[in-house]
Amino acid sequence: MMFEGLSEKFQNVFSGMRKKGKLDESDIKVANREIKLALLEADVNFKVVKSFTKSVSERAKGEEVLKSLTPGQQYIKVVNEEMVKMLGGEDQKLEISKDKLNIFMMIGLQGAGKTTTAAKIANLLRKEASLSPLLVAADVYRPAAIEQLKILGKELNIPVYFDDASQNPVEIAKKAKEIATEKGHDLVIIDTAGRLQIDETLMQELSDIDQSIQPTEKLLVVDGMTGQESVNVSKTFDDKLGITGVVLTKLDGDTRGGAALSVAYTTQKPIVFIGTGEKLSDIESFYPDRMASRILGMGDVLSLIDKAQNMVDEEEARRMEEKIRNASFDLNDFLDQLHQLQKMGSISSLLEMMPGVNKKALAGLDMAATEKQMKRTEAIIFSMTPEEREKPDIINGSRRKRIANGSGTSVADVNRLLKGFEQSRKMMKQMGNMGKRKRGRMKLPFM
């Protein structure tokens, strides 16, 4: 899988944080350091790493994380959001119009994957956007280049415009544009020549093609295996030609690939596609948010965090804290807490959404029993009088018997609940005494 090593490291950091109920500044510092090293090791550009970790640590130190009720989750959320930003943010799609001629110009160093990618994109957009593509062979320097594109076109049954006799890529591109209009194509993809290095002649030629046909997209093709050099190369191409988007190829390779991920940040241009193999179907549209989840190994955990956040009323949580501090937490509050938990959905369905949760281990856990236990707790509290709920201390032996009968449970069940409640109240009182700024999470006795 792409970015497997990086992904593993993030997951290690995160699972350590999830285990902790509370975080302090030094926890955050350690996690930030681990993330920084992981990114550098994956070959992400050091400037990008620096900016990334700076944003994460600023946000993590602030209100948002340390003072939240679930600091571990909030930290993960911040890292994810910054990762999305690093990969280009949201809403960066390729501009495709159904009413006018879309002209894509492929740009890049030799061997980056321009020709292959031109064919892949034509195929993808024919399928997904119902466009009618025309491929254009404007690499006139290597005779085999025209042949290569022709073969790809044939394989995909996509027409290829070429002119063996011409040595002028500008003329070829102009002519192709005319033909596309004539024949009713709505997508023209121009394959250009590559160079080993960026040189003036190449830039001039690309700039001439650009001026004369005004492409709607200038796509820079970057070989994902070339490491840090890709950052400089894309910056130069962008400065000279004003690219509109980036295609990262060869992300299927087993190299670290992190450098390529820095390209969106350094050029501030969106990554629009990634190449993931040699086959013509090995191309994907690029979405920063999806890639971030993939790298962070998060599965659905983000939607889970959002869900939990929406469900647990912040106001309610604050009210509860006040009570803890005043040590006036009673069985009514306890019941409220129980309801909050239930609102978040059944425990088993929540667990299933967590990445890395072993389904087999889940099956071994008796979820139904846990939920039944919650129901029983609820029934016991409902069988108490309002006074008993407010002042559990008055619940003596005969009251216990009555409550057990009323809730269809046993005296032992009632005892267990009251004991658990007493323990958590003690714990809360201690936390309340620890100072006003410390926040504790309530642990319910049946959990």
Residue ranges for the known binding site for GTP are 108-115, 191-195, 249-252
Tell me which stretch binds ligand GTP (CB under 6 A): 50-58, 178-186, 247-255, 402-410.
247-255
Residue 352 site contact among Mg ion, ligand GTP, none (CB < 5 to 8 Å, cut-off depends on kind): none
**What is the pattern of x (binds ligand GTP, CB under 6 A) and - over residues 272-291?**
---xxxx---x---------
Cα–Cα nearest to 36, from 2, 79, 89, 67:
79
Consecutive H or E run containing 75: helix 71-86
Residue 250 site contact among Mg ion, ligand GTP, none (CB < 5 to 8 Å, cut-off depends on kind): ligand GTP
Contact by Cβ (8 Å): 252, 279: no
DSSP class of 113 = S
CB of 115 to Mg ion, least distance (A): 3
Helices 46-61 and 25-41 pack at an angle, to 10 degrees, of 160
Q: Measured from the CB atom, is 134 or 251 closer to ligand GTP?
A: 251
Interatomic CA distance for residues 22 and 65, integer angstroms = 10
The Cα-based distances of 5 to 42, 80, 258 in angstroms read: 8, 17, 11
Consecutive H or E run containing 4: helix 4-19
Q: Supply φ then ψ for residue 61, to 5 degrees.
A: -75, -25
Contact by Cβ (8 Å): 407, 379: yes
The amino acid at residue 111 is G
Joined together, the tokens standing for residue 230 give 């890709």
Q: List the one residue from 108, 169, 245, 297 that touches ligand GTP (CB under 6 A).
A: 108
**What is the pattern of x (binds ligand GTP, CB under 6 A) and - over residues 188-227?**
------x--------------------------x------
Q: List the one residue from 249, 267, 293, 424 that touches ligand GTP (CB under 6 A).
A: 249
Interatomic CA distance for residues 194 and 183, integer angstroms = 29
Contact by Cβ (8 Å): 339, 311: no
- Shortest Cβ contact with Mg ion: which residue? 115
113 binds ligand GTP (CB under 6 A): yes
Size of the site for Mg ion (CB under 5 A): 2
Tell me which stretch binds ligand GTP (CB under 6 A): 80-88, 170-178, 270-278, 404-412.
270-278
The SS3 of residue 70 is coil
Contact by Cβ (8 Å): 266, 47: yes
Q: List the one residue from 115, 234, 262, 337 that touches Mg ion (CB under 5 A).
A: 115
Give the N- to C-terminal CA distance of the chain in Å, as an integer: 36
CB of 111 to ligand GTP, least distance (A): 5
Residue 278 site contact among ligand GTP, Mg ion, none (CB < 5 to 8 Å, cut-off depends on kind): ligand GTP
Q: Measured from the CB atom, is 257 or 432 closer to ligand GTP?
A: 257
**What is the pattern of x (binds ligand GTP, CB under 6 A) and - over residues 140-179?**
-----x----------------------------------
Size of the site for ligand GTP (CB under 6 A): 20
Binding residues, as ranges, are 108-115, 191-195, 249-252
- CA dihedral (91, 64, 440, 310) positive or negative: negative
Interatomic CA distance for residues 52 and 376, integer angstroms = 48
Task: Please name the residue that has the structure tokens 């121009």.
Answer: 190
CB of 45 to ligand GTP, least distance (A): 21
Residues in the chain: 447
Q: List the one residue from 252, 336, 371, 378 that touches ligand GTP (CB under 6 A).
A: 252
Interatomic CA distance for residues 53 and 57, integer angstroms = 6
CB of 191 to ligand GTP, least distance (A): 7
Interatomic CA distance for residues 103 and 94, integer angstroms = 12
Q: Supply φ then ψ for residue 226, to 5 degrees.
A: -85, 0
CB of 144 to Mg ion, least distance (A): 9
Interatomic CA distance for residues 188 and 386, integer angstroms = 76
CB of 283 to ligand GTP, least distance (A): 7
Residue 112 site contact among ligand GTP, Mg ion, none (CB < 5 to 8 Å, cut-off depends on kind): ligand GTP
CB of 293 to ligand GTP, least distance (A): 21
Q: Show contacts with ligand GTP in window 120-139 (CB under 6 A).
A: 139
Q: List the one residue from 110, 281, 349, 410 that touches ligand GTP (CB under 6 A).
A: 110
Q: What residues make contact with Mg ion under the rule CB under 5 A?
A: 114-115
Q: What residues make contact with ligand GTP under the rule CB under 6 A?
A: 108, 110-116, 139, 145, 194, 221, 249-250, 252, 275-278, 282
